[in-house]
Amino acid sequence: MVEEPDLDLSRRLALALDVDDLVAAVRMARMLKGHFGVVKIGLELYSAAGPEAIGAIGDLGYEVFVDLKLHDIPTTVAGASRVIGSLGVSYLTMHAAGGLDMLRAGVDGLRTGAGNAGLSEPAGLAVTVLTSQSDPSGGTLGRWVELAAAAGCTGVVCAARDQAEVDRHGPGLARVVAGIRLPGDPADDQKRAASPGEALAGGADLIVVGRSVTRAADPLAAADRLHRAILGADDNPTHRRD
């Protein structure tokens, strides 16, 4: 068992709290503090608790990752991003399918909201092809990555196997990898799942882990297993991004 979580590693791990109860979310986040440096608030928790969830998780000392996959007209996305940027979040997602103007509006909104509140600018992340979908075809992934770069996004959300193509089309963009499963865990609805070691071997800057930990019989033991699974690969330098 990992007695003391590796804090440098924890900063690269985001806990996906996909629940509809803020009390349960805070309880889980408090239990796993130290194993994760970031908490992802998705549609389910945000729909249940709204901005209160951001404050409650932030108060525990986590970086907050708001995963709403905004996709609307540029004016609407700019306004929503401006509000969320003022709340002290570290990350916000927008869907790359919304196009260049929408992504740019989201990035500008985040900058304005954070600036008005005297906060650091959050990272605007463009969601590409979901990990619940089959492998992209027809150049979709590359086009969306190029849009993200042109719009000024900090990074993209992608599958582990997409990282090399992300680098080709958007060098310098941070890679946030979803669809993570511990070895032996069911893939559930994920068609392009990967292990944490595979994601880091591809150069992921941040990996998002949800059900493998949150739905485990013992979430704390599962979080320890996650750290062991990654640190066990540390003798292999290929998982480090230069």
What positions carry a catalytic annotation?
69
Beta bridge mates, 65:
40, 91
The CA-based diameter of the chain, rounded to the nearest angstrom, is: 49
Distance, in Å, from the CA atom of 156 to the CA atom of 171, rounded to the nearest integer, reads: 11
Read off the tokens for 181. Answer: 């499963």
Q: How many CB atoms lie within 10 A of CB 121?
A: 15
Distance of CA 155 to the CA centre of its chain: 10
Confirm if 106 and 73 have CB atoms less than 8 A apart: no
